[in-house]
Structure 1
Amino acid sequence: MSWKVRRSAAKCLETLITARPDLLLDFYRTAAPVIITRFKEREENVKADIFSAYNALLRQTRCVHSGRGNVEVGDRGDSALSALQKQVPLVMKSLQKLLRDKSIKSRQGCFAVLTELTGSLPGCLSQHIPALVPGLVFSLTDKGSSSNMRLDTLVFLHVILSCHPPECFQPHLPALLPPVVACISDPFYKITSEALLVAQQLVRVIRPLDQTKVSQPSPYTKELFSTTLKRLQATDIDQEVKERALSCMGHLISHLGDQLGNELPPTLQLILERLRNEITRLTAVKVLTLVAGSPLKIDLRPLLKDALPILASFLRKNQRALRLGTLSALEVLVRNYSDCLKAAMLEPVLGELPSLLAESDMHLAQVSVDFLTTLVSAHPASLPKLSARILPQLFQLVHSPLLQGGALASILSFLRALVTSHTPHLGYADLLKQLTGPVHSTGPTLHKQAFHSVAKCVATLASACPKESNASITQFIQDAKNPRVGDPVKVLAFLTLAEIGRERNLGSQQKELKNVILEALASPSEEVKSAASYALGNACVGSPADFLPFLLHEIGGQLRRQYLLLHSLKEALTCLPGEELRPYQEDVWKLLLEHCEAAEEGTRNVVAECVGKLILVNPAQLLPRLGKQLSSGSPHTRSTVVTAIKFTISDQPVPIDLLLKNCIGDFLKPLQDTDPNVRRVTLVMFNSAAHNKPSLVRSLLGRVLPPVYEETRVRKELIREVEMGPFKHTVDDGLDVRKAAFECMYTLLESCLDQLDIYEYLNHVEDGLKDHYDIRMLTFIILTRLATLCPSAVLQRLDQLIEPLRATCTAKVKAGSVKQEFEKQDELKRSAMRTITALLTIPEVENSRSMADFMMQIRANPELSSLMENIQKDSITACGTDIMDIS
């Protein structure tokens, strides 16, 4: 009977839901049905808290399903969504009457729940739109509705229009459109602005762009157009309304432009005016992009002559978003209106492009190159202008050490389009000369990363012009074996042959290439040897029958060059499709197992990577065979086997997972191996699994965590003293293993927090705070993260955790120590202070006596106080966190 008790119960439930994401399914079974039935609550304040509790459940569901929570995504996230899907009809039944309730607060609470529901499960209200529309119309038209009520209604209407297919709303347009149009004319600018956003979505409902062939004019076009036009023409209105009216008009023209008749040309001129206006130009550029990309093929000829010089001028503005938007608009205009564009009209644009092809902004350069690619294909008349103005700058970008990823892919597409356009002075030979010129010149040597970019560009040209490239391949082979040319020329030759060889069979030149590569593997230059190894591996990809048996034979016979040849094999195994590798599976497997015993750790790591990639060819057969190698008497073999599993985990997203899940427990048994290096590589593999695919190890944590925690302990038997002349130096052979164990602990915080006993975990964190410099740096990061994830547990242990932090901050370095020791101590202090700053964000930390004493000690020390203030300022700047004031 008491509303206070009911309200407290609702608040308590909300706290439980927020704090225990691991119990989400239980909440759906037990709490959610009761909360939904209580939507009928008579007391408004209690009802608000009940809505809030259900919203917390929806937010937690979205968080878990999207992977931002600590509970693992997968079955649990999907099950929560399934449970929510079953409850949607019940929610709608409870809210339907409330949507027409006299209480504004109740209706706002309903819309808040429905907005969260749509965000958590997009499209879930498709069957319930008829039940929603009367409530929406009521809130928009009710004279008793406040401005906030109408705003909330418009916001929700925008959300459901965005998340549901247009056909759900088409039968309800007669009911929805008039109140929305009335809101566009509302004197309150916020309502007008939100109504224009909703109108944009309603345009999509009136006529989806995939139904542009519908010939019957829409009865709603004129009404919506005239109201929007009135707002677009007004100059004395809020900036947000100006922009949204412009955007809404863009959608209207894009979807319904063929129905506007004589109204269209003056409206386009109005958009051109907004393009000239500094305040609205960015929105106008986006509108122009939208209209130009419409499948209705809107006639933009009256606009183009004036618009192109304006767009060209935007490319030199400092506003980055404007430059990117302008390039997108130009790309769409050139692609769809090339027959209306004369070369002279594009000259101002081409004049601005060279300055955009700079390494200082790779994304802007990438978008510029994409525009050039469209220009080459759609408007060949402008190509002669490219040679003198743009290509020198483009090739300068190719020679940049920063070029990679999307920007490089765009340049490759552009070169392919350019060389196949058969434009005079832009043919294969001309482009090849400009690309490779700096390598053959006596000027400054290119950065080694640039050689890879140039090689990919040359290979792209060769792929587009196979006949013309044959002579080039011969020349590259000659360059590779010519003792009189410099190392940079040889490196480029091998890298280019690698890129070409990956795509095609090198035919009659194979024999000569094999000899040249073998000679180069004995070169004194590391760059030449590495490039030759890369070339051999990629030649195996283009012609496995010719090169792979040769490579396997050489690995078995060339003891001095095994490391380089194994790298070649790794390239081949990485790039070759599984069906092409299967005939060689047994030969490769046998060869790799023979090299598991290699003395050099670097060689064993390459062997392990090769084994991991080979397993992906036939996991059902090879995984069990690899598991048998764990019983080998050699620690080298065991470490190689475990490392190989790490590469299967990180490389393959799905197909091998089920097999790995069944057997990964066997590959984690070496956590208790007698050899420290085997334990270290097993920890590294476990860390990889916990980070990339936590589902593989979650069920094994009960068995795996004790040996992981055991490895965080300092082992005195692994510490030894080494005499270095008059000095004695302490060496800890267990340090690398401990570092690996703490790295695993940090990873488990991100992926498996709900599976950890946090108090046992904190015991080992506390030990790590007193360990070696490297371990302390790691545990500071762990403790900082724990302050956010488990503040209450950290607060309970604060007294024990403060002491090692205090010891670090007050430690002194011996007077005669080397400079490196002073730098290490300074970095430790800074990291410890960052951790303390994080601890100060924990609620109720001000009640801790030990923290208060430590803060007094910091304030009393000018050096520590200054350091603390600087770190707190940085923290506030970075994330706006409220931190306990220490002044």
Structure 2
Amino acid sequence: MSVLLLMSILIQEVKECAISCMGLVVSTFGDNLDVELPAFAVIAVSPLKIDLSCVLEQVIAELTAFLRKANRPLRQATLGTLNSLIVAYGDKIGSAAYEVIIVELATLISDSDLHMTALALELCCTLMADRSSPVVGLAVRSKVLPQALTLIRSSLLQGQALLALQNFFASLVYSANTSFDALLDSLLLSAKPSPQLGGVAKQALYSIAQCVAVLCLAAGDQQCSSTVKMLTEILKDDSTTNSAKQHLALLCLGEIGRRKDLGSHDHIENIVIESFQSPFEEIKSAASYALGNIAVGNLLKYLPFILDQIDNQQKKQYLLLHSLKEVIVRQSVDKAEFPDSSVEKILNLLFNYCESEEEGVRNVVAECLGKIALIEPTKLVPALKVRTTSPAAFTRATVVIAVKYSIVERPERIDEILYPEIASFLMLIKDHDRHVRRAAVLVLSTFAHNKPNLIKGLLPELLPLLYDQTVIKKELIRTVDLGPFKHIVDDGLELRKAAFECVDTLLDSCLDQVNPSSFIVPHLRSGLDDHYDVKMPCHLILSKLADKCPSAVLAVLDSLVDPLQKTINFKPKQDAVKQEVDRNEDMIRSALRAIASLHRISGGDCSLKFKNLMNEILKSPSLGDKYVSIRNE
């Protein structure tokens, strides 16, 4: 008896200590619930199948209440924890609790917080999975669906939130006993302008088309096929004057075709290509997009069709090249290879168009070559290198830009193949043709941004050549006679702008390789007195140098005052249009930001010229107010 009595006393002491401990935990960490909540998620996914039925109802009620809190991390942690609990213990949670959760989720779905929206939609999908209760489906349709249809019209919708929204519509048609036709009509209606919400942004149309495609695939082959037929009928109907309806139909066909082989629909490629004749640019662009994406679903059938059309339809060439680009970009993203028979034909066709007189065509060709290089680097890099010595300047420029499109932030197989050959492309910065030089500058800037380690060894040789591109070259300035007046055209402007923007990027990624003293005078000093398009990046560069290399800036501060003073005191002509006035205001504010950065340098007062400039700014009513506003940003 004495032993049993001792044990009961010990157990009671343990209970009391546990209660005291939990009281201390809650009193100490009560404001950090977002950190502690994942403990329930860990329990829920435990392989031990821990029974939480005794506290589950209270836990769910408390978690649901947390969704109303203003604390964002707490709401995020709550959504994740609820998801884990519902996956593990969903059959033990009552319908009433689900209804309350769904009401709270609806309030979280908005383009003002896309991360939270994605989590809320993912939890909705979890709620609908394997739930036989009609209450859940009804609650989701009445509370969450209207919010989802509002969200889909947002031009901000992208990434994980867009994927979650697509899964939401698929889950609705899968498991919530929701009519496919009703959902499809709701999606298509959301693309129409409304008096309350206005027109629909272009990005929103793409989001709607993607959701339509996912919905069709989730509903099954029969509904998918009937939807494709309905969409093609819209395109075939000559009497249709509603371009918005045709636009959406093309985007939907493209998104469905990318995910499902549409080869069973006779002549769908010809129906789509007929829209190339539309008088509306957005229709032609959508048709090009649709044709390319339909080809992704069945490369063997539709890729040869596109290649043949490019060869034989000169008037449609640009749009067809965009269709080919859609195929190539999608293959590179999915890391999928082309059929062997197609690669050589694609490359021959693209290289033939490198010399096109149309810059738009050359840019599409360059992007296609760059994306193929990601798929077939061993074949493409040598082929591109060979053409750096082509006698045609446009070809040299196109293959260099192709390299730009093959440089992405993530590590790729092409990196180790391209590394030994980088100099062959970047040294074209000293080419005699300005188009080629600008292409080399753009590629250098892309390398500096995405993969600076690949080019650091070349910078001692490249930087002087880059600085040379910032100089105004008189041979690139020409006068065009327009009859009653003459117009001066500066063909070197775009090159100088690109060169300064490249320096700006290098200051972020390769500062240790840059000698600011040799750049500030004369190159930056000259840029500060150049055209509007050149001054803007120069102001950014000056601000960065003032922050990162203050001593180098301080040494030449006097020489920088005059161009800055000239900029902030410039007055547009009295007959200047509003655009010119606004542009000048932007320029003044940009210069004042640079001046504010210079003023923060310790020792700046030693420059009498700069001190006088600051006095002039602060005494001027208009400049002084702008300066104070900028300094307080």
Instruction: Tell me if TM exceeds 0.5.
Output: yes
Task: Please report how far the alpha carbon of residue 740 of structure 1 lies from its aligned counterpart in structure 2 after TM superposition.
Answer: 0.9
| 1:386 aligned partner | 140
CA contact (8 A) 1:720 1:732 kept: yes
Question: Aligned match of 1:334 in 49, 70, 86?
Answer: 86
Contiguous gaps of at least 5 residues in structure 2: 1-10
Question: Aligned match of 1:672 in 430, 436, 453?
Answer: 430
| 1:537 aligned partner | 292
Task: Please report how far the alpha carbon of residue 696 of structure 1 lies from its aligned counterpart in structure 2 after TM superposition.
Answer: 2.4
Output the CA distance in 1 between the equivalents of 2:225 and 2:181.
Answer: 12
Asked if residue 746 in structure 1 is aligned to residue 498 in structure 2, the reply is no
CA contact (8 A) 1:635 1:678 kept: yes
Q: Summarize the alignment of residues 697-716 of structure 1 with structure 2, pairs less than 5 Å apart.
A: 697-716=455-474
Output the CA distance in 2 between the equivalents of 1:351 and 1:652.
Answer: 40
| 2:405 aligned partner | 647
Q: Summarize the alignment of residues 242-391 of structure 1 with structure 2, pairs less than 5 Å apart.
A: 242=26, 244-245=28-29, 289=41, 292=44, 297-377=49-129, 379-381=131-133, 382-391=136-145
CA, structure 1 residues 303+817, in 2 after alignment: closer, same or farther (shift >3 Å)?
same
Task: Please report how far the alpha carbon of residue 869 of structure 1 lies from its aligned counterpart in structure 2 after TM superposition.
Answer: 2.1
Question: Aligned match of 1:463 in 210, 214, 217?
Answer: 217
Q: Look up the SS of the partner of 1:599 in the other structure.
A: coil
Task: Please report how far the alpha carbon of residue 407 of structure 1 lies from its aligned counterpart in structure 2 after TM superposition.
Answer: 0.8
CA contact (8 A) 2:273 2:291 kept: no
Task: Please report how far the alpha carbon of residue 507 of structure 1 lies from its aligned counterpart in structure 2 after TM superposition.
Answer: 3.0
Deviations 1:106-134 (A, max 9, x none): xxxxxxxxxxxxxxxxxxxxxxxxxxxxx
Q: Which stretch has the larger CA shift, 513-522 or 578-587?
A: 578-587
Q: Report the residue type matching 1:599 in the other structure.
A: E
Output the CA distance in 1 between the equivalents of 2:330 and 2:87.
Answer: 35
Task: Please report how far the alpha carbon of residue 724 of structure 1 lies from its aligned counterpart in structure 2 after TM superposition.
Answer: 4.6
Output the CA distance in 2 between the equivalents of 1:652 and 1:431.
Answer: 38
Asked if residue 401 in structure 1 is aligned to residue 160 in structure 2, the reply is no
Task: Please report how far the alpha carbon of residue 856 of structure 1 lies from its aligned counterpart in structure 2 after TM superposition.
Answer: 3.1
Deviations 1:330-366 (A, max 9, x none): 3233222212211122222223333322333322221
Output the CA distance in 2 between the equivalents of 1:359 and 1:245.
Answer: 32
Q: Report the residue type matching 2:82 in the other structure.
A: L
Output the CA distance in 2 between the equivalents of 1:496 and 1:478.
Answer: 13
Asked if residue 793 in structure 1 is aligned to residue 568 in structure 2, the reply is no
Q: Summarize the alignment of residues 772-811 of structure 1 with structure 2, pairs less than 5 Å apart.
A: 772-811=531-570
Output the CA distance in 1 between the equivalents of 2:194 and 2:565.
Answer: 59
CA, structure 1 residues 731+293, in 2 after alignment: closer, same or farther (shift >3 Å)?
same
Q: Report the residue type matching 1:475 in the other structure.
A: M
The count of corresponding residues between Structure 1 and Structure 2 is 613
Task: Please report how far the alpha carbon of residue 539 of structure 1 lies from its aligned counterpart in structure 2 after TM superposition.
Answer: 1.9
CA contact (8 A) 2:447 2:455 kept: yes
CA contact (8 A) 2:258 2:293 kept: yes
- TM-score normalised by L of structure 2: 0.89
Output the CA distance in 2 between the equivalents of 1:222 and 1:540.
Answer: 73
Task: Please report how far the alpha carbon of residue 225 of structure 1 lies from its aligned counterpart in structure 2 after TM superposition.
Answer: 9.4
Output the CA distance in 2 between the equivalents of 1:590 and 1:770.
Answer: 46
Deviations 1:364-387 (A, max 9, x none): 221111110111125442223323
Q: Summarize the alignment of residues 261-660 of structure 1 with structure 2, pairs less than 5 Å apart.
A: 289=41, 292=44, 297-377=49-129, 379-381=131-133, 382-421=136-175, 423-424=176-177, 426-439=178-191, 446-464=200-218, 465-485=220-240, 486-509=242-265, 511-576=266-331, 577-650=335-408, 653-660=411-418
CA contact (8 A) 1:232 1:245 kept: no
CA contact (8 A) 1:243 1:283 kept: no
Output the CA distance in 1 between the equivalents of 2:534 and 2:193.
Answer: 50
Q: Look up the SS of the partner of 2:232 in the other structure.
A: helix
CA, structure 1 residues 507+776, in 2 after alignment: closer, same or farther (shift >3 Å)?
closer
Q: Which stretch has the larger CA shift, 855-864 or 489-498?
A: 855-864
CA, structure 1 residues 308+864, in 2 after alignment: closer, same or farther (shift >3 Å)?
same
Output the CA distance in 2 between the equivalents of 1:708 and 1:471.
Answer: 58
Deviations 1:526-555 (A, max 9, x none): 222222211211122111110111110000
Question: Aligned match of 1:230 in 20, 29, 33?
Answer: 20
Task: Please report how far the alpha carbon of residue 584 of structure 1 lies from its aligned counterpart in structure 2 after TM superposition.
Answer: 0.8
| 2:5 aligned partner | none
Task: Please report how far the alpha carbon of residue 597 of structure 1 lies from its aligned counterpart in structure 2 after TM superposition.
Answer: 2.0
CA, structure 1 residues 318+419, in 2 after alignment: closer, same or farther (shift >3 Å)?
same
Structure index of larger Rg: 1
Task: Please report how far the alpha carbon of residue 223 of structure 1 lies from its aligned counterpart in structure 2 after TM superposition.
Answer: 11
| 2:627 aligned partner | 868
- TM-score normalised by L of structure 1: 0.64
CA, structure 1 residues 789+337, in 2 after alignment: closer, same or farther (shift >3 Å)?
same
Contiguous gaps of at least 5 residues in structure 1: 1-220, 235-240, 247-278, 875-887
Output the CA distance in 2 between the equivalents of 1:816 and 1:474.
Answer: 57
Task: Please report how far the alpha carbon of residue 766 of structure 1 lies from its aligned counterpart in structure 2 after TM superposition.
Answer: 1.7
